[in-house]
Amino acid sequence: MKKKTIYLILGVMAVAIVIGSRIYASNRMSSTGTLGDEIISVGNVSEKKEDKKESTKSGQHNKKSSVQKAEAKEPQKTETAVTSSGTPKEKTQEQTDTYPKLHSNKKVHLYASGTARIGDTAYEQYSYVESIAKTYASVVDKMNKNLNKKSKLYSCIVPTSAGITVPDNKKTKIKSGDQQKAIQKIVKKYKGDQTVISLYDTFMKHRDEYIYFRTDHHWTPLGAFYAYTEFCNAKGIRANNILQYKKKTFKGFKGTFYRDTNNNKTLRVDNIQTFYPLSGKKISMYYKTVQGQKIHAPLIDNVSHYGESLKYCAFISGDNPLTVIKNKAIKDGSSCVVVKESFGNVFVPYLADHYQNVYVIDYRYWSGKLSSFVQKKKVQDVILLNNISMTRNSYLVGKLGGIAG
């Protein structure tokens, strides 16, 4: 009976991932084009072989992994780049000169799925959509207003790899928009007093590290760690030292880009290195399925036996309407709600060391009103976390608006 239940849960998770990926894929912006012999457009046809002598020096290709760098040197604390009104500041030439330089001699391959590939790494093409961005900003303002100052709203838009780790000499050739300017435009539309967490500058300073997957559109646990440190800066609390965490690596992850590039063998398979909260066994978690079933599970699961496309489910058991995390080591009644899509999954575990209760709402599947939930649970902090591609997706913005009351 227990095995049947486990198989049923895994089956439901697999279906949810397929549905989620189809929603994600259906809203990707298709793009093809040619620029001399540097770009190869790929539909359903086979690609030309690349010159094996070509070399690449991309941040996601470094022989020395970012985690090794982090273990050798604790990440420096960086200040969140926002003005007094919460608007990200324009970067000066002096500031941008401090960013690591990336270069690649690999060709750019564009796919009908809205994906670009450079050597062993793929990227999601991005384009700014003014009308949807305007709606997104109004939804965030509505959410903040309805919290009625009973909870503090932290708003964070996560840039994707196309805006951070694309080699400098390939930026214009992957046909992707300027994510820094897009985020600035969205934030300038906010009318409320929500706290904006800006990640662009921080991520650019770490762009030569393994902060995004090569075969998937998500960030890695290391990328999410840097976002967590920025949240701690904004809240005024001390972030954990990355060297303190116990770690485990799950090998053989092939994400959404693997499918989007027609299962291209050139892509280098990813590894997922997890960072376990310091509170350890003091932390417990359960989630509720779409059907309302309550299931207890580890905060970070052992996914070594999962299929190669399912290993991102290591974090909070994947995408579920509501997840509840409790830390018995904390007795101060502190609590937060993370309102998120799938990017939030890998971010959430870092919060478990700082709150007695962490609630996670996936607005794509949860039905309810956030303000009522926050009032009932006496939540102090609401963390809204979305990747930038979500802000051009009218369906997802609509789903977020549905719970903003």
d(C-alpha 246, C-alpha 239), whole Å: 15
- Which residues, in sequence order, are bridge partners of residue 274? 248
pLDDT digits (tens, 9 = 90+) for 169-214: 999 999 999 999 999 999 999 999 999 999 999 999 999 999 999 9
Give 335-402 as a 3 state SS string: EEEEEECHHHHHCHHHHHHCCCEEEEEECCCCCCCHHHHHHHHCCCEEEEEEEHHHHHCHHHHHHHHH
Q: What pTM, to 2 d.p., does this model score? A: 0.81
pLDDT digits (tens, 9 = 90+) for 41-89: 454 333 333 333 333 333 343 433 333 344 333 333 333 333 323 444 5
**Which residues make Cβ contacts (< 8 Å) with residue 384, sequence separation at least 6?**
140, 143, 153, 154, 155, 156, 339, 340
- Which residues, in sequence order, are bridge partners of residue 382? 153, 337
> How high is the mean pLDDT of the chain?
84
Token pair 């470094």 in the structure block, residue: 62
pLDDT digits (tens, 9 = 90+) for 295-318: 999 999 999 999 999 999 999 999
Residue 90 reports pLDDT greater than 90: no
Domain ranges (residues) in the chain:
2-403
